[in-house]
Homo-oligomer: A and B are copies of this chain.
């Protein structure tokens, strides 16, 4: 998952991912959408491939890329699992703090040893 998160942290790679999410595309066709050189795109594609965010299919001299929906699904699951019960508690706490803004240390007695 680390590789996935690092891969999507790059704006161009997200754009590539959107392109090959629409439909299968050859490497050169992808490169046409950008200002940077083809080798740079090739390197981005390698990172996406190694993160299993895209798959490659060879057809003659061309290499056709497409998004890998499974990995995207895993990413979605991963992000959703950051939404744990603990977070829901924090959400409630934030609400309470806003409502009674002047209340100090009403609900937090976590550490009191100086």
Contacts and interface: CB of A to CB of B under 8 A. Distances in A.
A2 B9 CA distance: 7
A75 interface: yes
A87 B72 contact: yes
Interface residues on A, range: 35 or more
Interface of A: 2, 5-6, 8-9, 11, 14, 17-18, 21-24, 26, 29, 49-50, 52, 55-59, 66-67, 69, 72-73, 75-76, 79-80, 82-84, 86-91, 93-94, 103, 105-111
How many copies of this kind of chain does the complex include?
2
Contact of A5 (B9, B87, B89, B94): B9
Contact of A86 (B22, B84, B89): B22
